[in-house]
Structure 1
Amino acid sequence: MEKSTQKTAKFFSRVLLAAIVTVFSLSAMKTNAQAGEPIKLGFIPLTDCSPIVMAKELGLFKKYGVNVVVTKESSWANVRDKILTGELDGAHCLYSMPFSVYTGVGGKAGSEMKIAMMLNSNGQAITLSNDFCGKVGFKDMAKVAPVVAAKLKAEKEVTFAMTFPGGTHDLWLRNWLAAAGVNQKTSKIITIPPPQMVANMKVGNMDGFCVGEPWGGVAAMQGIGFTQIATQDIWKDHPEKALVVNKDFSAKRREDLKKVMKAILEACMWLDVPANRKKTADIIGKAPYVNANNDVIQDRLNGEYNLGCKLGQKIYKGDQMVFHKGGLVNFPRKSHAIWAMAQYVRFGYLKEAPNYKAIADKLILQDLYKEVAASMKVKVPADDMKPFSLTMDKTVFNPANPAAYLKVVKR
């Protein structure tokens, strides 16, 4: 009987050991599978999707050990929805979109999208239709309001387009209208996805639009409209696109996110080398990416703007679209988040001021960026939360006191 008991005990010991080995094996397999699990990053067909696209094309994601799949998305609203649901882990995104969504301007209030790093500065434009050709010149702000007023009187409606409520293009457009003295309540402002801007202007659906390149350049090339102003003329070195990520992804796959950021940061450095811009234009101009004329992409990347409407050429040197600028571009600043949210109050999106600082703290992964930058020996600027002014509007914005700014700024 004793021998039988010993045999039974040995049998169960072997079964238990086998079970333990199996559990650890499955756990290891799960961990390994998760490490190689694809990371899905979206982009909108715009020139400033280049950091994500070129990180993929140059093999930088592989270099840093992450399996990244990039997907072309149809609209910013689509990007928002996919990031929030986790269908996308992250995306090339309007830097102000997370604040717009969280405050309820451009989505369900309280929905969290995290900013990991910035991707570029400058390089957007306001394009006017040919109805304005010969009546308003390049950067000729004094004539904008009278021409708009005359058009309103004749046609009862003037329509401008941007790409997402509370997004950067919306803010640049509204700042431009305010600077020109146009009462925004008299203008219709609609939302159109970036790649559809030129086609919509061609059939007369809008009088002007604000969007990222290359679509302003394409409109000028096709003779559909002309560049009235570039956004770097509104605010030199303004923040533009960001790497925005899903909340759970940023928490559960932090190490993988850091690798993604390293790859994109290296791509941003590469993109700022002038000799690399032709290759960039040739690649992102292809159908799977932006699907636009390579020469137009390259010219505007280089700061060579053929304005259209017989206005000639404008050359930008140092303030064209930039992606790194020694680290000045990529640092996500909380002061810029506060400025964007102050615009929501300024232009009537929000009736009351939000908790600016708390929202910026919640949505910007600034410490994570600093960690990545330190590992790559990239200098982090020390200018966050300091007062600043836009190039066009000289009103001082103090991120510690948005209320004072809102009392004096033009509406």
Structure 2
Amino acid sequence: MMTTQYINKKTKLILICCFIMVLVNSIAGANPPKRVIKLGFIPLTDCAPLVIAKEMGLFAKYGVDVQLSKEASWAVVRDKILNGELDGAHCLFSMPFSVYTGIGGKSGSEMRIAMTLSNNGQAITLSKDFCGIVGFKDLKKVAGAIKTVKARKEVTFAMTFPGGTHDIWLRNWLSACGVSAKSVGIITIPPPQMVANMKVDNMEGFCVGEPWNGVAATQNIGFTHIASQDIWTNHPEKALVVNKTFAETDKEDLKNVMKAIMEACKWLDVMSNRKKAALFLSRPNYVNAPVQVIEARLMGSTDLGCDLGVQKYKNDYMLFYNNGMVNTPKISYGIWFMAQYMRFGMITTAPAYKDISQKIIMSDLYAEVAKSMGVPIQEDMKPFKTNLETIMFDPANPAAYIAGAKK
């Protein structure tokens, strides 16, 4: 028979255990584990802001637990952002507009742009069919060269997503060369697969981000004909694009993600840091490309291939911060991309340009983050002109621009 003393000791032990459990649960409730924020990226050099924010501990510095997810294509990124499998991603700036207008997805599907990640740093690569016929930025000879190649085979160009930035750079270039986009084939290929597809003669040219233009030149598969900054200097390229629900219900976490990425963008624009950045990016879990190729083009040195020599970009190479000029997501840029869709017949009814751009671009949230980081906010809605065009684009009157561009 148990003694009263033993029963009392057992009761005390049980009470102590219960007290400890209550205390532990209370502490856990006060400091719940951080939710994991999942951000996707495509293996391109300009995914660098996300990679650096992760590798340099900047996400942790701002109190967010971020997991990076390497994705296979922009279509996969689109689907995962829309269904919430990804909270956000390194993404083509124009993708949300392409999807919303029904070019690259279901019309009316919403993704939000929190900030711009990069300017410049894409290119159009031509196959060896054009080597010795067309030189660097030699636009006047392109139409004739295409006609020559078409005499023996179909001419096809590749880009990475319908209505995406690479699609629009390609169409602007063709127009400037006097070539109708309808007279050639335009196909969609994921960025890391561009070089392999050109190698087996699936296309005569492609527009993609680095390092894949550099890889094609290094492997003597093609040559860099023109860089995107030659088409439009300091153009918007990649953006932090986020899931609508995440943007609307988890703004504090999103702001901290943006702060970490902003600091990474600043770090990346210190040129002495770019060799280290190239080492991170070259890893198999990120871009998985030769570090020398990534580094060279990050530093503004473009070995064109096809015995065309090296082109040095001194202040218009790939930029991530540029004293705050890169990161403001401009309403006017959204309007410009949608105007391109109308100009090139990708949509037939004019969208509500400004309303859609304001819906997609989180200008107020960006302004709040930029102010807290001491980053100047850039003026928006001013007319501007790209390098290959003679007419100005006024975001207040896209119809006039389209009419002029079609002449």
Question: In which range does the TM-score fall when normalised by the shorter chain?
Answer: over 0.9
Q: What's 1:196 paired with? A: 193
Q: What's 1:399 paired with? A: 395
CA distance in 1, matches of 2:41, 2:25: 35
Q: What's 1:387 paired with? A: 383
| Match runs of 1:283-362 below 5 Å | 283-362=280-359
Determine whether 1:255 maps to 2:241: no
Given candidates 52, 56, 72, the residue that maps to 1:54 is 52
Determine whether 1:409 maps to 2:381: no
Given candidates 266, 272, 277, the residue that maps to 1:275 is 272
Q: Which residue identity does 1:67 align to in structure 2?
A: D
Determine whether 1:183 maps to 2:180: yes
Where does structure 1 lack aligned partners over 5 or more consecutive residues?
A: 1-21
CA distance in 1, matches of 2:81, 2:311: 37
CA distance in 2, matches of 1:110, 1:29: 41
CA distance in 2, matches of 1:27, 1:339: 53
SS in 2 for 1:39: strand
Distance 1:251 1:32, change over 3 A: farther
Q: Which residue identity does 2:365 align to in structure 1?
A: L
SS in 1 for 2:133: coil
Q: Is the 8 A contact 1:178 1:410 kept in 2?
A: no
Distance 1:208 1:252, change over 3 A: same
1:81 offset after TM fit, Å? 0.2
1:153 offset after TM fit, Å? 2.6
In the comparison of the two structures, how many residue pairs are matched? 388
Q: Which residue identity does 2:395 align to in structure 1?
A: P
Where does structure 2 lack aligned partners over 5 or more consecutive residues?
A: 1-21
Given candidates 158, 161, 175, the residue that maps to 2:158 is 161
SS in 1 for 2:226: strand
1:183 offset after TM fit, Å? 1.5
Q: Which residue identity does 2:290 align to in structure 1?
A: N
Q: Is the 8 A contact 1:179 1:410 kept in 2?
A: no
Distance 1:213 1:51, change over 3 A: same
Q: What's 1:123 paired with? A: 121
Given candidates 78, 96, 99, the residue that maps to 1:98 is 96
Q: Is the 8 A contact 2:129 2:149 kept in 1?
A: no
| Match runs of 1:20-99 below 5 Å | 32-33=31-32, 36-99=34-97
CA RMSD, Structure 1 to Structure 2 (Å):
1.7
SS in 2 for 1:403: helix
Scaled by the length of structure 2, the TM-score of the pair is: 0.93
1:380 offset after TM fit, Å? 0.6
Q: Deviations over 1:375-404 (max 9, x none)?
A: 01111112x111000012132100000000
CA distance in 1, matches of 2:157, 2:126: 9
Runs in 1 of length 4+ with deviation above 6 angstroms? 25-28
Q: Deviations over 1:103-138 (max 9, x none)?
A: 101000110000000000000000000000000000
SS in 1 for 2:68: strand
Q: Which residue identity does 1:348 align to in structure 2?
A: G
Q: What's 2:7 paired with? A: none
What percentage of aligned pairs have identical amino acids?
64
Q: Is the 8 A contact 2:174 2:180 kept in 1?
A: yes
Determine whether 1:173 maps to 2:181: no
Q: What's 1:14 paired with? A: none
Determine whether 1:264 maps to 2:261: yes
Distance 1:302 1:410, change over 3 A: farther
Scaled by the length of structure 1, the TM-score of the pair is: 0.92
